[in-house]
């Protein structure tokens, strides 16, 4: 029987037993802007995480990794702030530890059960006083309905909230996975995924939780590129509290595959939201490569096209310059025969073939313009050399991207 995955509201609080809140503590000057957020499980969780591959890592990531190692992959809460990345500071790790101690004291848990995260400007000292003076209010406001307030607290140049959740059944027991994300720029497919927090009430071993997260990140967040910059603070953290009380997923069996598919649906949806909200973006770009000899080749080809600056500019200009697609496919670090490759461009306005067997073909420029005038563009690449496929996501490159990043610190 096919598993049904139902999209539900509630974000990280859609699974049973999770609470959240966010508020303005004073890191931002604007009193209407949340800058401190908290996610808490009512019971202890198995926890898994994936971190940025940037050699420069934010202090919160170092502390988060240390806490999870100390607890053996157990956690109860995530504390996060925006406006200040707490990165490249001599006192960074101590400030991150302080954030955890402050949250733990109010929650009545051990500091090691708290995962810290920060996002914002690099190289500025994080003031701990505003965080300390607002921690009590932050904890008092914890509630399932405040999930969106937590999302607002990690937004920087984001223009929309990014939340997703799915509900499904494992062995007759209803389980839920929910997630939230922030990110609009400084995103590149190198496990630079911005801040992403995911929760589930499923019962699953820590080992399989980490395996599922690492596997799904590879085909979702790591297939996302906004601007080619790999951030210093990005992480995905997944907590499972077991409140659904399903039979524990302890082997990579059918129950694990159902859970894994649910996680894919949540992370893929968040990835798509991140791509569509790229800094200054006017178009979501979704590139699918099929007919590849293996999935790694499909991933490499799709990502190569999505992160091409010239192609991104062409999409902003609504120019069906298919040569830029072939160029990006051609320098992808993978082995395949380019002379078998077909390419189409598509949107809700239809589909137009631009390349067959590695060569250009005649097509209507007027029809192509009509297809590319939409805000969601699909690039379809057929290598015709196997059965593997993969999708990558990105956005166009616009004038506004430069404007946003020209005065980011102010």
The set of catalytic residues is: 193
Cα diameter, the chain:
68
Contact 213, 50 (CB under 8 A): yes
Q: Give every CB contact of residue 17 below 8 A, 6+ residues apart in sequence.
A: 41, 42, 43, 201, 241, 243
Q: Which residue shows structure tokens 């101590």?
A: 94
Nearest-angstrom CA–CA distance, 50 and 238: 9
Nearest-angstrom CA–CA distance, 230 and 187: 6
Nearest-angstrom CA–CA distance, 309 and 296: 22
Nearest to 283 by CA among 329, 219, 326, 347: 347
The burial of 145, by beta-carbon neighbours within 10 Å (0-12 exposed, 13-18 middle, 19 or more buried), is given as: exposed
The end-to-end CA distance of the chain, in Å, is 55
Could you give the angle at which helices 206-219 and 254-276 cross, rounded to 10 degrees? 40
Nearest to 16 by CA among 186, 173, 172: 173
Nearest-angstrom CA–CA distance, 75 and 18: 12
Dihedral sign for Cα atoms in the order 204, 208, 210, 211: negative
């Amino acid at each position: 029987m096919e598993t049904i995955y139902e999209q539900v509201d509630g974000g990280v609080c859609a699974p049973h037993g999770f609470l959240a809140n966010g508020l303005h503590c004073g890191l931002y000057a604007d009193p209407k802007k949340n800058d401190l957020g908290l996610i808490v499980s009512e019971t202890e969780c198995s926890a898994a995480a994936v971190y940025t591959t940037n050699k420069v890592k934010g202090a919160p990531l170092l502390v988060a990794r240390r806490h999870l190692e100390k607890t053996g992959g157990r956690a109860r809460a995530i504390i996060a702030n925006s406006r200040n990345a707490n990165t490249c500071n001599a006192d960074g790790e101590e400030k991150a530890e302080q954030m955890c101690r402050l949250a733990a004291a109010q929650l009545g848990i051990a500091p090691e059960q708290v995962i810290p995260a920060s996002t914002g400007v690099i190289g500025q000292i994080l003031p701990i006083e505003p965080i300390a003076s607002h921690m009590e209010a932050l904890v008092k406001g914890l509630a399932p309905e405040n999930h969106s307030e937590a999302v607002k607290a990690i937004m920087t140049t984001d223009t929309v909230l990014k939340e997703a959740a799915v509900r499904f059944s494992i062995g007759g027991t209803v389980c839920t996975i929910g997630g939230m994300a922030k990110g609009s720029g400084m995103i590149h497919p190198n496990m630079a995924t911005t801040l992403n927090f995911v929760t589930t009430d499923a019962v699953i071993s820590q080992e399989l939780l980490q395996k599922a997260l690492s596997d799904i990140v590879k085909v979702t967040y790591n297939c996302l590129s906004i601007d080619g910059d790999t951030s210093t603070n990005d992480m995905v953290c997944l907590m499972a509290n077991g409140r659904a009380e399903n039979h524990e997923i302890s082997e990579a069996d059918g129950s694990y595959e159902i859970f894994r598919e649910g996680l894919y649906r949540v992370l893929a949806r968040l990835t798509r939201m991140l791509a569509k909200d790229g800094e200054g973006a006017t178009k979501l770009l979704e590139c699918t490569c099929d007919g590849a000899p293996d999935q790694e080749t499909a991933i490499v080809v799709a990502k190569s096209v999505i992160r091409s600056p010239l192609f991104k500019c062409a999409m902003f200009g609504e120019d069906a310059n298919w040569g830029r697609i072939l160029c990006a496919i051609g320098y992808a670090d993978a082995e395949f025969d380019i002379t078998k490759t077909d390419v189409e461009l598509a949107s809700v306005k239809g589909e137009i073939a631009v390349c067959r067997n590695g060569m250009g073909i005649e097509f209507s420029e007027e029809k192509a313009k009509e297809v590319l005038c939409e805000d969601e563009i699909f690039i379809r690449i057929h290598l015709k050399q196997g059965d593997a496929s993969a999708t990558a996501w990105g956005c166009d490159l616009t004038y506004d991207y430069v404007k946003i990043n020209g005065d980011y610190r102010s």
